[in-house]
Structure 1
Amino acid sequence: MQLPPADRTASSFTGYTRAHWEAAADALLTAVEPYATEDRALYHLPGDRTSWSGRLSDGLEGYARTLLLAAFRRDEKALERYADGLAAGVSGVWPRIEDRSQPLVEAASIALALRLTRDLLWDRLDDGVRQRAAAWLGDALTAEAWPCNWELFPVTVGGFLAEVGHEPDASRAAIDRGLERIEQWYLGDGWYTDGDGRKFDYYNGWAMHLYPVLHAWLERDERLLDLYGTRLERHLSDYARLFGGDGAPLHQGRSLTYRFATTAPLWLGALTGRTPLSPGETRRLASGALRYFLDRGAVDDRGLLSLGWHGPDESVLQGYSGPASPYWASKGFLGLLLPPDHEVWTAAEEPAPAERADAVTPVGPPNWLLQSTRSDGVVRLHNHGSEDVRYDPYYTRLAYSTVTAPSPSYDNSVLVGDDPSRTGIEPLGAGDGWAASRHTAGGGASVTSVVLARGAAEVRAHLVTGTEPGTPVRITGWPAGEGLRAELLPAVGLDDSLTGVTGEGATLFVALGRLTGEPDPLPLAELVSVRVDETGAVEVRWSDGDGARVRLDGSGVEAAPLT
């Protein structure tokens, strides 16, 4: 991908300006064009993988997701090609939108693109094409959505159809129904779960906030914009901390192949004026993420986004991932809706949170603890409240970071009797420098866990109950990586292989951990010490003299400063 030279005057951290974003968008649009069918209704991108929805749906996905990119770019020549594809698609080529079907997802991208470019695309179509397109989209108004972020796809379609006067009553009903349904998943402080349970991930940003806020903004509905915009602004206070100093988003959750779609809520805050971030910080975070992926092979030698993270990577895919799935990354180009003279494009870049200072920050609804270090720019997420409905290494590990990926050997886990499962995660609170949870482990054991963090150092304590005496328990830490030091040292109840055995009743295991990119850090044992007092409480003392006293029992965790 050919980009302009780096501009270190305007963008001292990334070198990227609006010109780089425009060039990247243009290159991505050019690269997919050879894979369009003759009628331009489908984009069959290369590869031997087909999603569980099938090849026809995958071709529609290629059309819809790249159309969204052309809409953010407002590229008239490209939009002319997509207009031809729309005319063919709604004349019998595209699959119908049915209950819980992938075309419902793609209909939302098409409707949003048409709404954003109405003067350039929709208003120039023949009336017959408009009628057929509205009828095709109209099935989304009554199609049953999966009970998660999918509830917002009929909202997005309904917003466009109501604007153009197609089935206004049904459109408004779909909008009201979808917005009402997501309320049950809003847990406060800017955080949604993605449906029932405790699934916290990037869908908060690229779906749960994106669609309601954009809908309110396009409707010019100040009441809705105040409601959803206030939530977005609060969310961004936490969200900005999920990016490392190298621009990497945290490697956690599903659909990671969407890559720099993680930047969409950053741009959305600037677009609507609902952000706690300065213009320079917004651009630094967004451009940092785009550059992170482009510099690491996300685009192949054909100019296509691969199914993966850096390059191709099967481990981050789901059954719904097809050849065109990565192009939800198009959402990351939302910032191009901002005019070139907007301050988010003209201000000097400012450091990201991970570059300003060491920080250990609790995040309430997910019950996470975010730990970042300025010296290496690494961000670590200690997970004490997020899980999927099944065991999933991208949700149920104890920790994630911007520089590591979950390993097949069960990093960041507690193995009870060689069983690494962690289900039924129950948050027990997060506070100043700590977070805690309880979960069910192998054979029905209960594990109460707490992590305390300072700088790059961690103390991890686990109280195991409900096992036969003599059951082996093994603690694992961070996976190793190039240029990284990953450490886990036994402190209480563990031998040098980080293994111990349970006794009668509750058994405590404590380890010291660290993940750092510093080339020559101080020994971990010099940064923190641990002892168990006569009552069984864990006393942690940091090298600066501060400390905490933590008590774990079957009912929860109590943490207090050491005096």
Structure 2
Amino acid sequence: MAPLAGLAGMIPSAAFASATTTQENNSTAALTDRAYHVQLLQKIVTPVVDNMSKGTLKKNMPKEKGPGYGLALEKVTYLEAFGRCISGMAPWLALPDDNTAEGRLRKQMREQVLQGIVNGVNPASPDYLNFREEGQPLVDAAYLCQTFMRAPQALWEPLDNKTKQNIVTELKELRRIRPAYNNWLLFVGMVEAFLLSIHEEYEPLRTMIATQKMKEWYAGDGFYADGPQFSLDYYNGYVIHPMFTEMLKVLMDNRQGTKADYDQAMKRMQRFAELQERMIAPDGTYPALGRSMTYRTAAFQPLVQLALMHQLPEGVEPAQVRCAMTAIMKRIFEMEGTFDKQGWLQLGIAGHQPEVADVYTSTGSLYICTNGFLALGLPAEDPFWSAPPAEWTAQKVWSGKPVKKDYHVTY
């Protein structure tokens, strides 16, 4: 594996030391884990947010695409890149400013993201993003809405009124799109839930249908089918659990949905996250199966989202999630070829593997991986970061240590 390199120098180089090395001091190791996550996130997102803030994303972003790619690339890949990228950054950007190196970096990136949002909905900008043609923008507008729902005070409220109105106008234009009869119903629901959250006119039938169909498509033991037929892949991680619970939370808070629905969805996400933690092998690998494997760390979004919410399933400690996610990140992002020479992500899982990309996958699609970094929204002193390193379940199992037995659930 190639070492992580080419990062801006705001985070100390000691960040790259392994947090799971037993010879290290525990507290230092835990802090090092956070610095590693921050520096890696910085490396991933900088090409997108820096260019978007300058109006040069369309000019400079590569347009690699999967074999048999079937979308209108120029019309969809840029909103994919920006909307997905900032949805995973949002909890971190929502932390208060401070004078640490991380705090200064966070403030700088927040300002870049805000300017990028302005540019993205300004018809006069070279980086004006397409919401009005093709169907794919519905997907990535949902990630933009997720960004605002995760960090309203940091990323929505500071926007000027003209930009806010531009965003609302673009989101309402998406109602022209007929969604696919699968997880796309949640993209519709997220857009409408966000409009509801900012007290704009919204269409309740769209959130009602999304809610009802997801409940019908629950397959059991923490898994939803992606539509009428079950498929074994990571879409429960990429989309379904995070967006369903976030949509239901907005509906509940605005008295348009029930607490019972939200609580049930949360319990199911907790079960799914419990299984996810067990699927992480002792060396930080995980099963490479199903569609969209190029989305990388986004597969584990439910696990880190629950860590962010302090609602991990019973028996799963924050430190074991932190250490497992660090191991995954090292396996993926330190593999030669994951980034190109200019620092952009390339198609693949670990390295450059364009043959695994789907017919809808391009460079922009890959930036959903930031959703594996949601726990950076916890402050450095939170036990997720400050607790001593801990083994995750598979490490315990395959070193002969006691572990909690697993059993299916019926809720």
Range into which the TM-score falls when normalised by the shorter chain: 0.7 to 0.9
CA displacement, residues 391-417 of structure 1 (integer Å, 9 cap, x when unaligned):
xxxxxxxxxxxxxxxxxxxxxxxxxxx
Runs of 5+ consecutive residues of structure 1 not aligned to the other structure: 358-372, 376-430, 433-563
**Distance in 2 (alpha carbons) for counterparts of 1:77 and 1:342:** 23
Higher alpha-carbon deviation: 89-98 or 143-152: 89-98
1:163 partner letter: S
TM-score when normalising by structure 2 = 0.79
Any gaps of 5 or more consecutive residues in structure 2?
8-12, 94-105, 254-258, 401-406
- Say if 2:54 is the partner of 1:17: no
Q: Paired residue for 1:200? A: 232
Aligned-partner SS, 1:187 = strand
* 2:397 maps to 1:345: no
| Aligned position for 1:77 | 108
Q: CA deviation at 1:215?
A: 3.2
- Is 1:177 aligned to residue 209 of structure 2? yes
Superposition pairs of residues 216-295 of structure 1, within 5 angstroms: 216-217=248-249, 221=253, 222-272=259-309, 273-276=311-314, 277-295=316-334
Deviation of the 1:163 alpha carbon: 1.2
Residue matched to 2:76: 57
Larger relative CO (CA 8 A, sep 6+): 1 or 2? Answer: 2
Local SS of the residue matching 1:23? helix
CA deviation digits over 1:452-481, x for unaligned, max 9? xxxxxxxxxxxxxxxxxxxxxxxxxxxxxx
Identity value in percent: 25
User: Structure 2: how far apart are the matches of 1:88 and 1:251?
Assistant: 37
Compute the displacement of 1:186 (Å). 0.5
Given that 1:97 and 1:139 are in contact with CA atoms closer than 8 Å, whether structure 2 keeps it comes out as: yes
**Inter-partner Cα distance in structure 2 for 1:14 and 1:345:** 6
Determine if contact 1:111/1:156 at 8 Å carries over to the other structure: yes
- 2:327 equivalent to 1:327: no
AA matched with 2:131: R
- d(CA) in 2 for partners of 1:212, 1:304: 30
Letter in 2 for 1:275: P
Q: Distance in 1 between the 2:92 and 2:289 partners?
A: 29
Residues 268, 82 of structure 1: alpha-carbon distance in 2 compared, 3 angstrom cutoff: closer
Structure with the greater alpha carbon radius of gyration: 1
Distance 1:85 1:213 in 2: 27
What amino acid is aligned across from residue 130 of structure 2 in structure 1?
P
Q: Does 1:32 align with 2:51?
A: no
What are the residue-to-residue correspondences of 1:347-496 with 2, within 5 Å? 347-357=387-397, 373-374=398-399
Counterpart-to-counterpart distance in 2, 1:160 and 1:15: 35
The one-letter amino acid paired with 1:194 is D
Show CA shifts across 1:2-42 (max 9, x none): 55142443389999511211111122222335654853675
Q: 1:29 to 1:133 in 2, by over 3 A?
A: same
**Cα RMSD, aligned residues only:** 2.8
What is the rounded CA distance, in whole Å, between the counterparts of 1:240 and 1:333 in structure 2?
A: 15
Contact 1:41 1:89 in 2 (8 A): no
Structure 1 residue 316 corresponds to structure 2 residue 351: no
Give the match for residue 125 of structure 1: 159
The separation in 1 between residues aligned to 2:318 and 2:386, in whole angstroms, is: 8
**Quick one: distance in 2 between partners of 1:163 and 1:24?**
32
Residues 307-360 of structure 1: CA deviation (Å, up to 9, x unaligned)? 111211122101111112111101111111222222222222322222122xxx
Distance change >3 Å, CA 39–CA 302, structure 1 → 2: closer
Match of 1:544 in 2: none
Instruction: Quote how far apart the aligned CAs of 1:278 are.
Output: 1.3
Asked whether the equivalents of residues 79 and 140 of structure 2 are also in contact (C-alpha less than 8 Å), the reply is: yes
Corresponding residue number in structure 2 for 1:67: 86
Contact 1:205/1:264 (<8 A) preserved:
yes
**In the alignment, which residue of structure 1 is the partner of 2:130?**
95
The letter for the 2-side match of 1:269 is L
CA contact (8 A) 2:49 2:113 kept: no
Whole-Å Cα distance in 2 between the matches of residues 274 and 94 of structure 1?
36
Contact (CA 8 Å) 2:188, 2:206: kept in 1 or not? Answer: yes
Matched positions, count: 359
- Partner in structure 1 of residue 98 of structure 2: none
Q: Cα–Cα, structure 1 residues 260 and 16, in superposed 2: closer, same or farther, change >3 Å?
A: farther
Q: Deviations over 1:479-531 (max 9, x none)?
A: xxxxxxxxxxxxxxxxxxxxxxxxxxxxxxxxxxxxxxxxxxxxxxxxxxxxx
Q: Deviations over 1:30-77 (max 9, x none)?
A: 233565485367575214537523212112212212222442330343
Shift in Å, 1:253: 0.6
Cα 1:129–1:235, aligned 2, differ >3 Å: closer, same or farther?
A: same
Preserved contact between residue 210 and residue 268 of structure 1 (Cα < 8 Å): yes
Q: Is the 8 A contact 1:40 1:81 kept in 2?
A: no
| C-alpha displacement of 1:152 | 0.9
Indicate whether 1:134 and 2:174 are aligned. no
| Aligned structure 1 segments of 4 or more residues deviating by more than 6 angstroms | 11-15
Contact 2:293 2:349 in 1 (8 A): yes
8 Å contact from structure 2 (residues 322, 384) kept in 1: yes
TM-score normalised over the length of structure 1: 0.58
Structure 2 distance, partners of 1:186, 1:300, is 39
Q: 1:300 maps to what in 2?
A: 340
CA distance in structure 1 between the partners assigned to 2:57 and 2:119 by the alignment = 6
